[in-house]
Amino acid sequence: MWALCKKELSQFFSSLSGYIAIAVFLLVNGLVLFVFENNVLDFGYATLDRFFELAPWILLLLIPAITMRSFAEEFRTGTWEVLRTQPLTDWQIIGGKFAGAFLVVAIALCPTFLYSCIVHALAADQGLDWGATIGSYLGLYLLAAVFTVIGIWCSSMTANTIVAFLLAALSTAAFYYGFHAISLLPTLPAGLDYWIEWMGIDFHYRSISRGLIVSTDLIYVTSICFLFFLFTNRNLRKR
């Protein structure tokens, strides 16, 4: 499984497009955080709220771009049949694909820790709330894990990488914001709006980002990941 993970990593970083995707992710976040209107310098106090609000929306495009080739490319080129002959179970193959894609996302997020150091250094008196910042990063990595497993699932449904990208982008957007949007409908019975919003990833991301590590949030993320692992395994068994 580790060999498959390393293969995924090498494939992504063997082309210039991989580096460009990560560079664009960092550039956009940096511009919004330090250059564009309402940047961190305009707030007058040390905060990374803008970054943690924007990053999930950029990941909605970055992660599908990373995962779209995971299985779709294998199906298109016929290497899936070769991979099936290896002494690996479907679960190990899925795990290797997931680990490789998630490590790419983790690598893309690592340089953003520099933003924290810069904002902390720029603070005149009181620096960053490191507890909340660490909680926000934990939430971002858990969010990335959910987006990654959804992207892997979408890639397992088609041999077309563009279709896999579009499916993943739409699916992750629906899971991230769709439930929240539905919960805002005025026709919902009292109390139901809370539970509908609870079903969305955004609810739990915001909860963890406040520095509150609640077991229900961790159980939710773990359950969603396991569910999409099952869905992916089911797709592979049909091949």
Give per-residue pLDDT as tens, 161-183: 999 999 999 999 998 988 888 88
Model-level pTM? 0.90
Q: What is the mean pLDDT of residues 12-41?
A: 79
Q: What is the mean pLDDT of residues 98-113?
A: 91
Range of the domain at 194: 2-237
Domain count, the chain: 1
Q: Each residue of 117-128: b (16+ CB within 10 Å) or e?
A: eebbeeeeeebb
Distance CA 63, CA 148 (A): 6
Distance CA 25, CA 16 (A): 14
Using one digit for the tens of pLDDT, what is the confidence trace for 194-218? Answer: 888 888 898 888 888 777 777 888 9
Of 190 and 109, which is predicted with more confidence? Answer: 109
User: Residue 188: which pLDDT band, with cuts at 50, 70 and 90?
Assistant: confident
User: Residue 43: which pLDDT band, with cuts at 50, 70 and 90?
Assistant: low
DSSP string, 99-127: HHHHHHHHHHHGGGHHHHHHHHHH-SSS-
Residue with tokens 């820790």: 113
Q: What is the mean pLDDT of residues 65-93?
A: 88
Do 151 and 221 touch, CB atoms closer than 8 A? no
